[in-house]
Amino acid sequence: MSVKTKKDLRNLFIYQVYSRNHNESGTFLEFINDLDRIKKMGVDIVYLLPIHKIGQKQKKGDLGCPYSIQDFRSINPEYGTIEDFQQLIKEIHNRDMKLMIDVVYNHTSYDSVLLEKHPEYFYKNEKGEFANRVGDWWDITDLDYSVDSGLSEELISTLVYWTKLGVDAFRWDVASLLPLDFLQEAHNSVLEANPNSIFLSESVHGGFTRYLRTQGFDSLSESEIFQVFDMAYDYDVHPYFESYFKGEVSLKRYLEELIRQEEIYPGNYIKMRNLENHDFGRFAPMVNNDQFLIKNWVAQIFFSKGSTMIYAGQERCDNNRPSLFDIDKVNWDGEDISPLITKCASIVKDKIFSYGNYDIKITDKEVYYADFSLDSKKIVGLFNLGKDKGLLNVDIPDGIYINLLNEKEMEVKDSKIELSLEPVIFWVN
């Protein structure tokens, strides 16, 4: 973890947007019309998937993948012009939100500006061909930081360019595959341009790190990632999250991994919690669109220690993960859970969620039961992820408490509380 990382970043609410499929035109200017709604939900950071020109050589789908980038300093003409982007930055800042963009510095498209001008910056396989290290990413060719320092200088210069244009934060695609010294130099250079800039790492699954290392390639561990980045994806525990929904492990096993994060990461570590994103599909179908489970899980990720990300359309329980490679619009006609999201976002702005002691309890129920405590204050979250019934043993004084999510009273009697199907968050004192 960067020593400069402030624990306040745990309060952040990030809203992920794929511009191409967010609205009818897919442009920045039309997206501006949605900013008031986004701000009303309590969003702090608008995060855009890659905004640059997409490579056409060996492209995937009709329009190509936004992670196969042709020019790191360009704007995808689908979205508008550089002036349109600057207007979007201005409008986001006018609403007291920040803008995060994706940076993809592991690879480029096969028709990229960099490949044309500096082929020496690129990885080559044993046959001497431009290639990628991962077989199924056949539309991209990998960069090689070991050959020429000019590559690092060019990419850092590009980061500073976007920072000075007004970009507040960067989400680093497959950050674990990049050299640590480059990441440290990039971070320092960006902080010189904007001391408040935020770095989010898409650090990869542990299994993928092990695989890359067996193939002779470097891959940073999560502990190395936290030497540079302010926050990281929750991919170290994501396999347990997926296995729980497949019925392969218990909720207890997943919770044990969450508890373990408290033991192995720096005191100011920040995990970015999310239920869905552009890679892993929509959450609602994972629970068969059960509104009780959707609401409990959404409230749980907000309550968990760390920042929170919602993928655009999740607030309407969209079942369709938009294709990265084609026109495939978000479905905005589903069940609206934005009031719950707004309420949760407001609750977790309290400093107890950034500076408090966090404790997850293991119980005999399929319930996520945790609390934060700071000074004389304590706040409790109970999320019935198994739709269990009956009484739950709790370490809470007997009394009447108010669920902050629906203003209903609840009673703790004889150190037990009646389980509800609704998510529950309440102050103890």
Residue 194, in any domain of the structure: yes
Residues 299 and 186 in one domain: yes
Q: What range defines the domain where residue 382 resides?
A: 368-427
Is residue 40 scored above 90 in pLDDT? yes
Residues 345 and 381 in one domain: no
Residues 321 and 383 in one domain: no
Three-state secondary structure readout of 23-61: CCCCCHHHHHCCHHHHHHCCCCEEEECCCCEECCCCCCC
Over residues 15-26, the pLDDT tens digits come to 999 999 999 999
Question: 406 pLDDT band (50/70/90 cuts)?
Answer: very high
Over residues 115-139, the pLDDT tens digits come to 999 999 999 988 988 988 876 778 8
- Round to whole Å and give the CA distance between 257 and 260: 5
Residue 373: the pLDDT is: 97
Is residue 1 scored above 60 in pLDDT? no
Is residue 184 scored above 50 in pLDDT? yes
Residues 255 and 311 in one domain: yes
Is the separation of the CB atoms in 35 and 48 below 8 Å? no
Residues 378 and 347 in one domain: no
Residues 14 and 99 in one domain: yes
- Taking all residues of the chain, what is their mean pLDDT, rounded to a whole number? 95
Over residues 214-260, the pLDDT tens digits come to 888 888 988 899 999 999 999 999 999 999 999 999 999 999 999 99
- Round to whole Å and give the CA distance between 25 and 77: 12
Which domain-ending residue is among 351, 380, 414?
351
Is residue 2 scored above 60 in pLDDT? no
Residue 219: the pLDDT is: 86
What does the pLDDT average to over 413-421? 96
Over residues 277-289, the pLDDT tens digits come to 999 889 999 999 9
CA atoms within 13 A on the CB side of 111: 8
CATH number of domain containing 404 = 2.60.40.1180
Question: 206 pLDDT band (50/70/90 cuts)?
Answer: confident
Is residue 81 scored above 80 in pLDDT? yes
Residues 314 and 382 in one domain: no
Residues 294 and 382 in one domain: no
- Round to whole Å and give the CA distance between 190 and 49: 20
What does the pLDDT average to over 31-43? 98
CATH number of domain containing 13 = 3.20.20.80
Residues 380 and 337 in one domain: no
Is the separation of the CB atoms in 335 and 316 below 8 Å? yes
What crossing angle do the helices spanning 338-347 and 291-303 adopt, rounded to 10°?
20
What does the pLDDT average to over 145-166? 96
Residue 192: the pLDDT is: 97
- Round to whole Å and give the CA distance between 145 and 134: 17
Q: Which residues contact 164 (CB under 8 A, 6 or more apart)?
A: 193
Neighbour-count burial for 279-316, b at 16+ CB within 10 Å, e otherwise: ebebbbebbeeeeebbbbbbbbbbbbbbbbbbbbbbbb
- Round to whole Å and give the CA distance between 117 and 166: 27
Residue 3: the pLDDT is: 58
Is residue 4 scored above 80 in pLDDT? no
Number of domains in the chain: 2
Residues 182 and 253 in one domain: yes
- Please indicate whether residue 3 or residue 187 has the higher confidence score (pLDDT): 187
